[in-house]
Amino acid sequence: MRVLGIDPGLTRCGVGVVEGVPGRLGKLVAYQVVRSEPDEDIAHRLLHLDRTLAELVERYQPDSVAVERVFSQHNARTVMGTAQASGVAILAGARAGLPVQTYTPSEVKAAVTGSGTADKAQVTAMVTRLLRLAAPPKPADAADAIAIAICHIWRGGTRAKIEAAAARRSNR
Amino acid sequence: MRVLGIDPGLTRCGVGVVEGVPGRLGKLVAYQVVRSEPDEDIAHRLLHLDRTLAELVERYQPDSVAVERVFSQHNARTVMGTAQASGVAILAGARAGLPVQTYTPSEVKAAVTGSGTADKAQVTAMVTRLLRLAAPPKPADAADAIAIAICHIWRGGTRAKIEAAAARRSNR
């Protein structure tokens, strides 16, 4: 299963593509950070993000898209832009006909480090280890996006198993 | 000048199309409220909004798009969805190659009622008067979107005059 993970942001939006199956170490396919300038027009910034995400979906052909959920307790000055970027990110997956799942930051942290309150360094360290990378992903903004993709692969597996079990039960 | 005004929202997104020139009473072309259910998947809700806005832009061929700005002091439970919807609304205009402008709620209220702290009833009353409608727009959610379009026409006119004056000055 190939997942495109997105850590939404307007100035920096992390994107990570990971291939894997639940319970195994995955493989990093690609990652990048989509940038735009804070003094640019909001319409241009969102359009640039939309186009770049559409290109990445087209290039890497993921099976699904996973996006980190945005909460209002984040930095209030930037949270509206982050939420707008997350809307565009979710839409990019939906427009391509892909299933889109969102995860809270603590779900992502718990999936890769075992703790929902892990810090950025821990997440980066675990992403590096779980994907057997020679060095931590650079820029560091991409590590979160990669962690979101890993989270989706592992959680998706659990979910798929639960659904399969439920289907078997109801078929009896 | 024909303007498509958008009052962004996930459950209800108001859209109003107004034709007019600065300083004159305008003409209401169309309005509607794009709805989605709170228990629906966020990806489907944003995709539905995106498609409907694209259709409306295609059908009414506005010269520009005006979107109300979202602030974090709004209802915290719904503000993230509203911000995501605003990202999709701004993107809808940008994708169509149209200029997109955002206005604060108080700019919109001040433009149609003269007061930046006017209430919803006052805005609806003035929209009805300024566009010489036989009755207030229904559902009321659409009144704000219509007010945003009126705001853009009037403010756009001022801006265009200032820019023209500045251009004349720099050409001397």
Collect all residues from B whose CB is shorter than 8 A from any CB in A.
41-44, 46-47, 50, 70-72, 76, 79-80, 83-88, 90-91, 93-95, 99-100, 102
> To which residue do tokens 């299933």 refer?
A99
Catalytic positions of B, written as ranges: 7, 68, 141
Size of interface A-B (CB pairs under 8 A): 82
Radius of gyration of chain B (CA): 16
Q: Which of B72, B79, B84 sits opposite A87 (nearest CB)?
A: B84
The reply to whether residue A72 touches residue B76, judged by beta carbons under 8 angstroms, is yes
Report the greatest alpha carbon distance in chain B: 60
Whether pLDDT at B167 is above 70: no
**B17 contacts: CB under 8 Å, gap ≥ 6:** B2, B3, B4, B5, B28, B29, B30, B31, B56, B60, B62, B149
Distance from CA of A141 to the nearest CA of B (A): 21
Given a cut of 90, whether residue B20 has pLDDT beyond it is yes
What per-residue confidence (pLDDT) applies to B55?
98
pLDDT (tens, 9 = 90+) of chain A, 172 residues, equals: 999 999 999 999 999 999 999 878 899 999 999 999 999 999 999 999 999 999 999 999 999 999 999 887 656 678 899 999 999 999 999 999 999 999 999 999 999 999 999 999 999 999 999 999 999 998 878 999 999 999 999 987 556 556 666 667 666 5
Nearest to A80 among B72, B76, B93 (CB): B72
Closest chain B residue to the Cα of A74, Cα to Cα: B72
Contact A61, A44 (CB under 8 A): no
Query: Tens of pLDDT along B77-128?
Result: 788 999 999 999 999 999 999 999 999 999 999 999 999 999 999 999 999 9
**What integer pLDDT is reported at residue B157 of this predicted model?**
57
Model pLDDT, residue A160: 58
- Rounded to an integer, the average pLDDT of B127-149 is 93
* Domain ranges for chain B: 2-171
What are the structure tokens assigned to B119, written together? Answer: 């209430």
In this complex, do B42 and A83 lie within 8 Å of one another by their Cβ atoms?
no
Structure tokens at A14: 């992390």
> In this model, does residue B38 exceed pLDDT 80?
yes
What percentage of chain B exceeds 90 in pLDDT?
77
> Between B164 and B57, whose confidence is greater?
B57
Backbone angles phi, psi at A127, to 5 degrees: -60, -45
CB contact under 8 A, A93 and B42: no
Q: Do B43 and A90 touch (CB under 8 A)?
A: yes
Cβ atoms of A49 and A6 closer than 8 Å: no
Closest CB to A87 among B46, B99, B100: B46
Query: Is A68 one of the annotated active-site residues of the chain?
Result: yes
Say which of B47, B83, B102 has its CB closest to residue A95.
Answer: B47
From B123's Cα to the closest Cα of chain A, the distance in A is 25
Residue to substitute from B4, B13, B41, B42, interface A, most A β-carbons within 10 A: B42
pLDDT at A44: 97
Chain B: residue whose CA lies nearest to A102: B42
Closest CA to A6 of A55, A69, A58: A69
Could you tell me which CATH class the domain B2-171 is placed in? alpha beta
Closest CA to A147 of A113, A101, A115: A113
Residue A120 contacts residue B111 (beta carbons within 8 Å): no
Verify whether residue A141 is a known catalytic residue.
Answer: yes
Query: What are the chain A neighbours of B57 within 8 Å (beta carbons)?
Result: none
How many angstroms separate the CA of residue A139 from the nearest CA in chain B? Answer: 25
Q: Is A63 annotated as a binding residue?
A: no
